Chains A and B, each alone.
Chain A
Amino acid sequence: MSEVIKSDTQNDKLLLDVDTLGISFGGLKAVDNFNLKINRGELYGLIGPNGAGKTTIFNLLTGVYKPDTGKILLDGEDITGKPTIEINKAGIARTFQNIRLFSDLPVIDNVKAALHNHYKYGLMDAIFRTPKYFKTEKAMDEKAMEILKVFELDNAASYKASQLPYGRQRKLEIARAIATEPKLLLLDEPAAGMNPQETHELMDTIKFVRDNFDTTILLIEHDMKLVSGICEKLTVLNFGRILKQGETYEVLHDPEVIKAYLGD
């Protein structure tokens, strides 16, 4: 009896439940038998050598690829094989390893585009500039500025996204993803190309986002300082399979993991 209650509370905490996920490309098993459980509010790291299949997992979670096997449950809802748009509406947003911004749009419009499904008015409202249009646009502007402020991008709101320096472009990508109000935020190498100072600031920002936007974060990262600094749990991937899973400290001190990273 007590066991049932226990598992219920556990389910309540569980946000993402990935079960035996797998995909092959032309015979090569890029991801095989992948399991992952992430609780609400966790900061979770996915690490592994290059080519281990980390980004492929992100692509499977966000519907860019359809898995050959396995199941993905988000908050109890089966999102396996659904299109990217539906998965975003269900509550997963992401950033990209090679930055993908709306480069010709102003910084603020990058965020406002992401508010699209939360602030609505019809095409006729837009064309005839109804009061609803003005009201909603104003609310969108305020919300977008509020998000930009968190990432210290508010002073660059009217710049074209492509005019931002690299580090700030990475931040804008996170800001854009956050604007869709995701339950789960996927960050693909957020610190890539940043200097130690910028990485340090980014760590604070990521923690701030998790705490203030009521979200859960799964991130891919090579920077071990960032991973050990902010991730509570880790999964290590090697050749498409799970090498080790658990608390960050334990995982990073596991001899097998060290071997995979440093070689023999």
Chain B
Amino acid sequence: MSSFISYFINGISLGSVYAIIALGYTMVYGIAKMLNFAHGDIIMVGGFTTYVITSSMGMSPAVGILSAVVVCTVLGVAIERIAYKPLRGASSLSVLITAIGVSYFLQNAALIIFGADTKSFQSVINVPALTFGDGAVTVSGVTIVTVLSCIVILILLTTFINRTKTGQAMLAVSEDKGAATLMGINVNRTIAVTFAIGSALAAIAGVLLCSAYPTLSSTTGAMPGIKAFVAAVFGGIGSIPGAMIGGIVLGVIENLSKAYISSQLSDAIVFSVLIIVLLVKPTGLMGKQIQEKV
């Protein structure tokens, strides 16, 4: 029983990381109506930035995390500006292929800069572990920080969207780009802000992910990125609470199937979940039906 609880808690921890990544996916999808395939690779960039700052340059973890957030935010906005903005109005196929190109670019640029060998990542989180039930269940510091970060991010993001002008503008753009423009909302700026927030979240997710699983390579972000997208679809793409729930559910499923079914098949099980969800409820748990105007 205690082993089940610790698998479950680890699942929630992993799921919280997926949730933070999925938030970025879902926001960008909701507002720019595009699947930003490169989102997962921003995580990797966040991881490497922290790695360089803390391990190579020996600076404090706080500086490392902050730099990761800054670098990823700038990168996210730059990618949007260079690769996606010119394609506004083009077919979704073109945008998707471009996003794949960007993802591939980031991975291979990292491969060239940092080499093919996997780096060992020094955890930047120094929080003591908690033990329950006379040491039967231990919750690591990373897990505590990850779950807490996830909750804080959810609260901050919801407040931002509901209480600020920019947040309201984001809602408006996601509803109807044309109408938002007519209401005097700067659509380009709103989309850029969305990318900035999503990328900053990806940076945080990168640090948390690398701290929990202390390795780092050019493809570190790819799989978690794709799984986070699965989480976003699971929860209903475009929905913020949906991304949160989807992420956590997916993390738990992954960890439990790793423990009780087969570690090799855990990815296959996670992806099967996606296919089953799409079959049963195509709009996800909390998504809404979008109808094309005729």
User: Shortest CB–CB separation between residue A94 and chain B, in angstroms?
Assistant: 10
4 interchain pairs, CB-CB under 8 A? A55-B294, A59-B294, A64-B294, A96-B294
Chain B hits for A55, CB < 8 A? 294
In the assembly, what is the distance between CA of A64 and CA of B294, in Å?
A: 8
- Cβ-closest chain A residue relative to B293: A98
The residue in chain B whose Cβ has the minimal distance to the Cβ of A97 is B294
Closest B residue to A96 by beta carbon equals B294
Give the size of the chain B interface in residues (CB under 8 angstroms).
Answer: 1
Closest 4 CB pairs of A and B: A64-B294, A59-B294, A96-B294, A55-B294
Point out the residues of chain A lying under 8 angstroms from B294, CB to CB: 55, 59, 64, 96
Interface string of B26-54 (1 = CB under 8 A from A): 00000000000000000000000000000
Which chain B residues numbered 278 to 294 have a C-beta less than 8 Å away from chain A? 294
Q: Mark A45-86, 1 if CB is under 8 A from B, else 0.
A: 000000000010001000010000000000000000000000
What is the total number of residues of chain A having a CB less than 8 Å from a CB of chain B? 4
Q: How far is the CA of A96 from the CA of B294 in the complex (A)?
A: 8
Which residue of chain B lies nearest to A59 when distances are taken between CB atoms in the complex? B294
B166 CB, min distance to chain A CBs, angstroms: 26
What CA separation (Å) do A59 and B294 show in the bound complex? 8
**Minimum distance in angstroms from A170 CB to a CB of chain B:** 17
Q: How far is the CB of B89 from chain A (nearest CB, A)?
A: 15
B193 to chain A, nearest CB (A): 28
> Which single residue of chain B is at the shortest CB-CB distance from A56?
B294
Residues of chain B with a CB closer than 8 A to A59's CB: 294
- Complex CA distance for A213 and B63, rounded to whole angstroms: 77
CB distance from A82 to the nearest CB of B (A): 16
Q: How far is the CB of B290 from chain A (nearest CB, A)?
A: 14
Q: How far is the CA of A120 from the CA of B294 in the complex (A)?
A: 29
Q: Closest B-chain residue to A84, C-beta based?
A: B294
> CB-nearest residue of chain B relative to A188?
B294
Alpha-carbon distance A55/B294, docked complex (angstroms): 8
Instruction: Give the residues in chain B near A96, CB-CB below 8 Å.
Output: 294
A37: shortest Cβ distance to chain B, in Å?
25
A96, B292: Cα distance in complex, Å: 14
Min CB distance A88 to B, Å, is 14
Residues of B259-294 contacting chain A, CB below 8 A: 294
The distance in angstroms between the C-alpha atoms of A96 and B293, with both chains bound, is 11
Q: State the Cβ distance, A192 to closest chain B Cβ, in Å.
A: 15
What are the interface flags for B186-205 relative to A under an 8 Å C-beta threshold, 1 for contact and 0 otherwise?
00000000000000000000
Give, as a whole number of angstroms, the nearest-CB distance from A128 to chain B: 31
* Shortest beta-carbon distance from A177 to chain B in Å: 15
Q: Chain B, 134-153, contact with A by CB distance < 8 Å: what is the 0/1 string?
A: 00000000000000000000
Interchain nearest-CB distance for B135 vs A (Å)? 56
Return the CB mask of A81-111 against B: 1 if under 8 Å, else 0. Answer: 0000000000000001000000000000000
Residues of B within 8 A of A64 (CB): 294
B2-60 residues with Cβ-Cβ distance < 8 A to A are: none
CB proximity of B91 to chain A, nearest CB, Å: 11
Separation of A55 and B293 alpha carbons in the complex (Å): 11
Distance from A118 Cβ to chain B, minimum over Cβ atoms (Å): 24
Task: Report the minimal beta-carbon distance from B4 to chain A, rounded to whole angstroms.
Answer: 45
Give the CA-CA distance A64 to B293 in the complex, in Å. 10
A window 14-69: CB within 8 A of B: 55, 59, 64
Minimum CB–CB distance for B87 against chain A, Å: 18
A135 CB to closest chain B CB (Å) equals 36
Cα distance, A221 to B83, chains bound together (Å): 42
For chain B, residues 178 to 235, give those with C-beta under 8 angstroms from any C-beta of chain A: none
Complex: how many Å from CA A127 to CA B294? 35
Closest A residue, CB atoms, query B292: A64
Residue of B nearest to A55 (CB): B294
Least CB distance from A173 to B in Å reads: 14
List B230-264 residues whose CB lies under 8 Å from chain A. none
Whole-angstrom CA separation of A191 from B294 in the bound complex: 18
CA–CA, A59 to B293, complex, Å? 10
The smallest C-beta distance from B288 to any residue of chain A, in angstroms, reads 12
A100 CB, min distance to chain B CBs, angstroms: 8
For the complex formed, measure the closest distance between the CB of B58 and the CB atoms of chain A, giving whole angstroms: 58
Q: How far is the CB of B150 from chain A (nearest CB, A)?
A: 33
* Shortest distance from the beta carbon of B195 to any chain A beta carbon, whole Å: 30
User: Per-residue CB proximity of B42-85 to A under 8 Å, as 1/0?
Assistant: 00000000000000000000000000000000000000000000
B37 to chain A, nearest CB (A): 25
Closest B-chain residue to A64, C-beta based?
B294
Bound CA–CA A59/B291 (angstroms): 13
A42 vs B294: C-alpha distance when bound (angstroms): 26
**Cα distance, A43 to B294, chains bound together (Å):** 24
How many angstroms from the CA of A147 to the CA of B66 in the assembled complex? 67
Q: Closest CB-CB distance, B266 to chain A, in whole Å? A: 40
- B279 smallest CB distance to A (angstroms): 20
Q: Distance (Å) between the CB of B292 and the closest chain A CB?
A: 9
Measured between C-beta atoms, what is the minimum distance from A34 to chain B in Å?
18
